[in-house]
Amino acid sequence: MKCLNLGCGTRFQSDWINLDSVAHAEGIIKHNLQKGIPFEDDSFDVVYHSHVLEHFSQADGQKFIQDCYRVLRPQGILRVVVPDLEQIARTYLLALEKSLTGDPTWQANYDWILLELFDQVSRDQTGGEMAHYLGRASHDLLDFITKRIGTEAQHISAMVKAPAAPAPEVRSLRQHLGQVRELLYRLVLRGDYPALQIGRLRQSGEIHYQMYDRFSLQRLLATNGFTNIERCEAAQSQIADWANLHLDTEPNGSIYKPDSLFMEAQKL
């Protein structure tokens, strides 16, 4: 069985084909998915991507799903994982009602769920307000956030509280040239330099351009030719031995990204 993991990040299987914009490890192919999927038609039995689709605009997301269909073999399986808009919205409404009663715990939770809704859409710096919020979150609030977004919350919090110090002695020629380039940009652009930085961030793959729920994702898959579309759980799949691959779950059985919507579909 030939399997493809798109936008794999640091979670990948060595016997799969793994693509990401950054090659975090050996065995990952560096590729910008905005340029399409670089494989021939009918190449894979499984195509999987997690928290990737939302980084495309609506029009580009259509093209991306069409490309997933193209590279799948007949009877092949597409597994899509995205942040679950419905789950976020329901949690927001619960936090709103609880906050209006004066509950201080839910008032703190309310602030976080607003960040889940808007921060990755509106942020103008890496990590956005989520990173700052996690850096000062109380133990109880961090527990709530971890239940929302999984172990990623603890990783971000640790990184914010204790950022790794760069080693000044490790400076390549490319880094020096990059510094000179940035200095020239600052001198030429002056007050417009922050706009350049924001534009870079908007194109970096960090920003969310679209959100999906079980209706909109099902409709997107159906309109692009997929059938047998089903919502599933993190450890549930038509993909053989899925639970033991630990792409959507941790070795202890917990869900890697609990805020997710998991959906599978098939190419006829």
81 pLDDT band, cuts 50/70/90, is very high
Residues 100 and 148 in one domain: yes
Residue 37, in any domain of the structure: yes
Q: Which of 101, 134, 161 is the last residue of a domain?
A: 161
Sequence-distant (6+) residues with CB within 8 A of 122 are 128
Average pLDDT over residues 112-125: 85
Domain count, the chain: 2
Nearest Cα neighbor of 9 from 17, 23, 81, 211 is 23
| Within a domain: 185 | no
Examine the domain organization and report whether 58 and 8 are in the same domain.
yes
CATH number at residue 20: 3.40.50.150
Query: Among 161, 180, 199, where does a domain finish?
Result: 161
Same domain, yes or no, for 151 and 98?
A: yes
d(CA 153, CA 158): 9
Tokens coding 194 = 């922050």
pLDDT of residue 125: 74
14 domain-assigned: yes
Handedness of CA 248, 252, 258, 263 (dihedral sign): positive
Do 125 and 149 lie in one domain? The reply is yes
Is the per-residue pLDDT at 170 higher than 50? no
pTM above 0.75, yes or no: yes
Cα distance between residue 122 and residue 202, in whole Å: 9
- Which residue segment(s) compose the domain that 145 sits in? 85-161
Return the pLDDT at 155: 62
Residues 73 and 24 in one domain: yes
Residue 167 lies in a domain: no
Distance CA 87, CA 83 (A): 9
Domain termination residue (choose one: 126, 161, 196): 161
pLDDT tens figures, 128-141? 788 888 878 888 88
For the segment 8-27, the average pLDDT, to the nearest whole number, is 92
pLDDT band (50, 70, 90) for residue 189: low
* Domain match, 112 and 152 both: yes
Query: pLDDT, tens digit, for every residue of 102-116?
Result: 999 999 999 999 999
Residue 5 pLDDT greater than 70, yes or no: yes
29 neighbors 18 (Cβ within 8 angstroms): yes
